[in-house]
Amino acid sequence: MAPQGLTVTLNGRQTRLKWHRLRRARSEGEFSSAVMAAGLQAGASMELDLTVRADGGFVVLHDDTLDRETTASGPVNAQDKASLAGVHYRQTGLPLILSEDLAALLTTAHPAALLQFDMKDTLASITDRGLDHLAHHFGQTSAPIIFSGGCPHLISALAQRLPHLPRGIDPTDRLVEAWQTRGLTSLEPLLLPELRSTAAPDTCYLNWELVLRAQSQGLDLIALCHAEGVKVDAWTYTLTDPSSGFSDREWDEFSTLVSLGADQITTDEALATEAAWTARQSGETNHD
């Protein structure tokens, strides 16, 4: 059976594979509405990035400038809906996806589908106008979406404006900085208040290297989150050579994330990762 890039299974427990920037493979390019539609029908977990515009709306982009990802240039927050008309994604040649488009694209979905809206800005840059925009377009939706971001104040504000939609936090940068400046013992006292905050997170997004490094030194961040009733997404694990599957080092890393209980692993190569996992599990090794 051809891989769909949805899950891997260990001892009867499934770990979801999340399609980073709406792609099942790096060859597909970023932010394809066609891939999103396919994922919604298949029940996939997917992620897109939202960056704020000058008019309080949002555009599906990772960067705060247009230069790398699109056919235009300049800061995203200097653009409005009208000025982005005719701008295309550089990799796919497709028109930009705006926040106004997303509600229409999310009308039908498999019950298991989940689309992460990763907010790239802070509450201070989004302001009440941006929150109003999100509440207007998604305040009544029953679409399978989860809002996430690195700004805890923003996620708490979204909890007030859109309480019916799940939310996720990403404290990775704060945890890494704390570890560098104050040591490993500073991580738990920093993370627990965020897990218990008014953001009421459904999921905690953690860099996979941070997870494994902490675990190797005696701190299980996944178990810490699970004890608070919060799921964990480990981002972003991508095979170096998808056609060859896991190297031995990659297998050790990835299988450790799965065995630690990561609920989801973000990847740019979901199809190849699922196929490589199945091959390893069945003994069809092709590795270093």
- Residue 217 belongs to some domain of the structure: yes
| Residue 287: pLDDT over 50 | no
pTM recorded for the entire structure: 0.96
3-state secondary structure (DSSP) of residue 179 = helix
- Residues 146-198 have pLDDT tens digits of 999 999 999 999 999 999 999 999 999 999 999 999 999 999 999 999 999 99
- Residue 1 belongs to some domain of the structure: no
- Residues 93-112 have pLDDT tens digits of 999 999 999 988 998 899 99
Quote the number of domains for the chain. 1
The band of 69, judged by pLDDT with boundaries at 50, 70 and 90, is very high
**Can you tell me the distance from the alpha carbon of 261 to that of 255, in angstroms, rounded to the nearest whole number?**
10
Give the per-residue pLDDT at 286.
45
- Residue 77 belongs to some domain of the structure: yes
| Residue 32: pLDDT over 50 | yes
Mean pLDDT of the chain: 96
* Nearest C-alpha neighbor of 134 from the set 126, 142, 144, 125: 126
Question: 287 or 119: whose pLDDT is higher?
Answer: 119
- Residue 8 belongs to some domain of the structure: no
The band of 2, judged by pLDDT with boundaries at 50, 70 and 90, is confident
**Can you tell me the distance from the alpha carbon of 285 to that of 246, in angstroms, rounded to the nearest whole number?**
9
Integer CA distances (angstroms), 197 to 21, 113, 202, in order: 27, 26, 11
Could you tell me the sign of the dihedral formed by the alpha carbons of 119, 125, 126, 128, in that order? positive
**What is the domain extent for residue 214?**
13-281
**Can you tell me the distance from the alpha carbon of 67 to that of 90, in angstroms, rounded to the nearest whole number?**
9
CATH number of the domain encompassing residue 96: 3.20.20.190
Alpha carbons within 13 angstroms on the beta-carbon side of residue 36 total 25
Give the per-residue pLDDT at 104.
86
Residue 266 and residue 15 in contact, taking contact as beta carbons nearer than 8 Å: no
> What number is the average pLDDT over the span 109-124?
97
For strands 45-52 and 114-119, give the pairing: parallel
- Residue 288 belongs to some domain of the structure: no
DSSP one-letter string for 192-245:
HHHHTSTT--SEEEEEHHHHHHHHHTT--HHHHHHHTT-EEEEE----SSGGG-
For strands 145-149 and 203-207, give the pairing: unpaired
Alpha carbons within 13 angstroms on the beta-carbon side of residue 64 total 7
The band of 284, judged by pLDDT with boundaries at 50, 70 and 90, is low
3-state secondary structure (DSSP) of residue 148 = strand
- Residue 138 belongs to some domain of the structure: yes
CA angle 142, 44, 119 (to 5 degrees): 65
- Residue 78 belongs to some domain of the structure: yes
**Can you tell me the distance from the alpha carbon of 188 to that of 18, in angstroms, rounded to the nearest whole number?**
26
3-state secondary structure (DSSP) of residue 247 = coil
Give the per-residue pLDDT at 288.
46
Give the per-residue pLDDT at 285.
46
Alpha carbons within 13 angstroms on the beta-carbon side of residue 199 total 29
Q: Give the whole-number percent of the chain exceeding pLDDT 90.
A: 94
- Residue 163 belongs to some domain of the structure: yes
Q: Which residue carries 């989940």 as its tokens?
A: 114
Q: What are phi and psi of 262, to 5 degrees?
A: -55, 130
